[in-house]
Chain A
Amino acid sequence: MKKDSKNYVDLKTQPIPEGSHLLEVDDLKMYFHTEDGIVRAVDGVSYTLDRGETLGVVGESGSGKSVTAMTIMGLISMPPGKIEGGDVRYRGRSILEMSEEEMQHVRGNDIAMIFQDPMTSLNPVYKIGKQVGEGLRLHRGYSKQEALKRATELLDLVGIPEPEKRVNEYPHQFSGGMRQRVMIAMALACDPDILIADEPTTALDVTIQAQIIELMQEMQEKNGNAIIMITHDLGVVADMADKIMVMYAGRPVEFGTADQIFYESRHPYTWGLIRSIPEQAIDEKKPLTPIHGNPPSLMNLPAGCVFAPRCPYATEKCMNERPERVMSADGHYAACHYAADEDFVKKNAPDTSRSRGHIATGQPDVLAPELIGGQA
């Protein structure tokens, strides 16, 4: 039974309207209405993405990185979720206004996703070949044999040895790294425009992580797709991302190119993250400067800047007023009252390899004792 593929337009083949980007997320707000109150999981996220680009989304657990991606994919059940504002446009078309049927064609075909846990995101009772070929059967109307043949090619492409044999095996016969390769093969089966990877390497060992990152980059070079890389690991985004969005408590606090975020960041939370990572110091060990306190509850956000209770530089204004985004001409923005204040930024931003001129001087880069943030 061949599926009639004429009843919808393949969005991928549509031209991107003049002046728009491949994907535009515009002030997206996604709240969960629970019995205990409203959880503002995503609160005003904006970014743009073009083909061939990689966007890194960084933040701690509960910062809304995954929910943003799930909203774009239409994977949030509503209720309890509800879109409270904003828009997501893919090739100029609003995804949020699409019917479930249209979304089904977008998911997997135009926008595909790789999940964190390769152990639970594969179905244990179906053979690998069937799972990898499922999208092709659904979206492209492939026959069983064609889909299996293509699945074998895809497994070969992602570097799985003996693909002819492996397509007929079950997920439990694969190691963690191999399962993540299967997930990538599955996501790339229909040659999607956008690949969303939600912590794809977190469950893997470093040597395997390096393999997977290299594979994703190779595939991107070959297919020209865009990648949204969601991770808590600044090392991984430094490796992959062209643009980076730093999220905190459901909001983007800073957005810019990788270089802007790592070398010219303007938000105290980004600074805190950078100071928290143990540096691969070569001469002397520097003490870590953690961010004090804990992230706020999304149900009960502080009245002013969401980061103010933990921010070492917070002032009266920060406690009471929500900061607007301070945008520079090249699209770099930071949601901080003082982001435009050059002296403030210069004085407090952490040392970087660029600002020092070379790497790991062993110069202490610690906050003055009076600049320790309060408890959240």
Chain B
Amino acid sequence: MTDTTERTPLLKVEHLSKEFPAEAGMFAKRFSKRVVSAVNDISFEIYPGETFGLVGESGCGKSTTGRSIMRLTKPTAGKVFFEGRDISEMNKHELKDMRREMQFIFQDPYASLNPRMTIGEIVSEPMTIHNVGTKEERMETVRELLDVVGLNPEHINRYPHEFSGGQRQRVGIARAFALKPKLIICDEPVSALDVSIQAQVLNLLKDLQDKFGTAYLFIAHDLSVVQHISDRVGVMYLGKLVELSDWKTLYTEPHHPYTQSLLSAVPVPDPDIQRTRKRIILAGDPPSPLDPPSGCRFHTRCPMASERCSQDQPSFNEVAPGHFCACHYAEPFPIKESHIDL
């Protein structure tokens, strides 16, 4: 994780921005002056075989980032390089080829599977689209995949409604792995599941990664889940990446006040710790992305904001090797002491 400078990135996101027109309608794109700045100038890299976690609260732009990388929505500015090729410039055919290497796992296991298709059809569809193998070979692969994700291969002709939430998510995972992609974007893959099932799916994703060497972009709002699965983690607030580092540094020495308060807001399932630990409770709601605050976007809720924060936008600086933070007053926060030794 620390030797990231040596390796070539699989995915490189450079100054990516995505704005949506605030008014709907035919001419909105051309004439609308008000825009929702969902993602604003973010950059990061994902290396082969690693898991990059992206956390943040609802509306911070983490899903839009995932969708822009996949070109499910066209970025307003910035570039996305996949294996050195610029995705934002690709035409339809090039995109189709590229998507063989990049797949998606969706949040809602109920809405993301077509209720009229059998499990076999769903899982084999990516192979059908990309003309992989004969029909028999595809079905054979589907059976193997179902087995790998922990479903009974004999259920190949069943329909999604016959499965529970956790099992459906396994079907979605099997589909994402059908083409053995190099990168899978997981958008909140476990947030709709119960804890015991969530743990099953997280373990499965880890096993599959070990087996196929796939890289994940893991988007979630649950910090403990992201910590568990990720090698490196980026924290987003209101369309901006505010901090990025390897998981351990981020969770033990968060520099950005937002990361610090986010971590301290997560209730720990241990009454002894919970009763004694110090917490920073942020006041108010996140501001609207329609009209983001000037300067640092977090300054309206930040416990340590100064005059400067409301005017100057902090740059995304490297505070330690591989550890980036966008704050004028970035300082290590020894979470270990404040959480436990109190």
Contacts and interface: CB of A to CB of B under 8 A. Distances in A.
Contacts of A288: 199, 202-203, 228
B336 A273 contact: no
A277 B251 CA distance: 16
B112 interface: no
Most chain A Cβ neighbours within 10 Å, of B167, B265, B270, B274:
B270
Contacts of B270: 238, 262, 352-353, 359
Interface stretch (A290-298, A324-332, A340-348): A290-298
A289 B228 CA distance: 13
A60 B92 CA distance: 44
A72 B166 CA distance: 31
B196 A291 contact: yes
Contact of B197 (A209, A280, A290): A290
B285 A60 contact: no
Nearest to A289: B199
A280 B268 contact: yes
A239 B286 CA distance: 24
B294 interface: no
B272 A282 contact: no
A26 to B, nearest CB: 27
Nearest to B55: A206
Looking at chain B's contact residues, is the secondary structure mostly helix, strand, loop, or mixed? helix
A276 B265 contact: no
A278 B203 CA distance: 11
Nearest to B267: A235
B271 A278 contact: no
**Residue among B194, B264, B265 with the highest chain A CB neighbour number at 10 A:** B194
B321 interface: no
Interface string A240-281: 000000000000000000110011000000001111111111
Best-buried of A177, A207, A290 by chain B (most CB within 10 Å): A207
A364 interface: no
B269 A234 contact: yes
B340 interface: yes
Nearest to A358: B340
A281 B164 CA distance: 30
A213 B267 CA distance: 10
B251 A290 contact: no
A278 B285 contact: no
A259 B224 contact: no
Given A178-B285, A211-B282, A359-B273, A280 B203 contact: no
B267 A258 contact: no
A214 B281 CA distance: 9
A207 B56 CA distance: 10
A294 B197 contact: yes
Contact of A207 (B262, B268, B336): B262
Most buried by B among A206, A273, A275, A292: A206
B267 A60 contact: no
A288 B198 CA distance: 10
B57 A279 contact: no
Given A206-B262, A235-B268, A262-B271, A290 B279 contact: no
- Interface SS of A by simple majority: helix
Contact of A276 (B58, B196, B267, B271): B196
Given A206-B57, A290-B200, A353 B273 contact: yes
B268 A238 contact: yes
B269 A235 contact: yes
A239 B224 CA distance: 16
B195 interface: yes
A205 interface: yes
Given A238-B267, A290-B200, A210 B279 contact: yes
Contact of A238 (B164, B203, B271): B271
Interface in A171-223: 175, 177-178, 205-211, 213-214
Given A289-B199, A290-B199, A359-B340, A239 B285 contact: no
A258 B271 contact: yes
B279 A262 contact: no
Nearest to A178: B285
B58 A205 contact: yes
B223 interface: yes
A124 interface: no
Given A206-B57, A232-B194, A280 B271 contact: no
A354 B266 contact: no
B221 interface: yes
B267 A207 contact: no
A294 B165 CA distance: 10
Contacts of A234: 195, 269
B196 A60 contact: yes
Contact of A60 (B195, B273, B286): B195
Contact of A280 (B164, B198, B251, B261): B251
B227 interface: yes
Contact of B203 (A277, A287, A354): A287
B220 to A, nearest CB: 11
Contact of B285 (A208, A282, A292, A354): A208
Nearest to B206: A287
B160 to A, nearest CB: 15
Contact of B200 (A233, A278, A292): A292
Interface in B189-217: 194-200, 202-203
B225 interface: yes
17 contacts: A206-B262, A206-B266, A207-B261, A208-B285, A211-B282, A232-B195, A233-B269, A238-B267, A238-B274, A239-B271, A274-B269, A276-B195, A277-B269, A282-B251, A287-B203, A291-B199, A294-B167
Given A262-B271, A285-B228, 6 more contacts: A210-B279, A210-B282, A238-B267, A277-B199, A288-B203, A359-B340
